[in-house]
Amino acid sequence: MRHQLDAKDLAILEILQQDSTISVKEIGERVGLSFTPTYERIKNLEKDKVVLKYVALVDRFKIGMQIVVYCNITLKEQSKQALSDFEKTIIAIPQVQEVISLSGNYDYMLKIIAEDITSYNTFVVDVISNIKNIGQYHSSIVLNEAKKETAYTFPIK
């Protein structure tokens, strides 16, 4: 059962989003709680699936991923089964980091990473263009990331 998030929960979430390696003791000190209530709140946030997982953010350039592309997809058929089949196929592809269903002109937006433009072109020719039911795709290559944030912000209560 999901509990109502209060100001302490939101403060804990903000800290965890900035650095999830901070000790429970330090989190407690920052939010004005002792160790045990802080620990219990974090465990409840995890149990209630407010905190989904902890990850390391990696510099893509340092691992050789120079290109980020947002690829908009229009499917030939939009039946429930066709959408489900497309999603099952596309989420299994490691280069695809995000799959977002859209309203409007396109059915999906994919966030794709690649080593360089040549490898992205190969990916499009060998993978994307061979996925059943894709009618059209339109690629937009990221030139610069003026802001890149993973944390959610919360209104002050």
Model pLDDT, residue 156: 61
Angle separating helix axes 24-31 and 7-18, nearest 10 degrees: 130
Residues with Cβ within 8 Å of 14's Cβ and at least 6 positions away in sequence, in order, are: 151, 153, 154
Model pLDDT, residue 154: 83
User: Which domains does the chain carry?
Assistant: 7-47 (1.10.10.10), 60-141 (3.30.70.920)
pTM for this predicted structure: 0.84
76-83 long-range CB contacts below 8 Å, 24 or more apart?
76/133, 76/134, 76/135, 77/133, 78/107, 82/133, 83/107
For range 149-153, the mean pLDDT:
89
Residues with Cβ within 8 Å of 91's Cβ and at least 6 positions away in sequence, in order, are: 99
- Residues 86, 90: Cα–Cα separation, whole Å: 6
- Residues 133, 37: Cα–Cα separation, whole Å: 52
Q: Report which of 121, 98, 116 is spatially closest to residue 108, judged by C-alpha positions.
A: 98
Q: Do 122 and 115 touch, CB atoms closer than 8 A?
A: no
Q: Do 112 and 71 touch, CB atoms closer than 8 A?
A: yes
pLDDT tens digits along 98-130 = 999 999 999 999 999 999 999 999 999 999 999
pLDDT band at 155 (very low <50, low <70, confident <90, very high): confident
pLDDT tens digits along 44-95 = 999 999 999 999 999 999 999 999 999 999 999 999 999 999 999 999 999 9
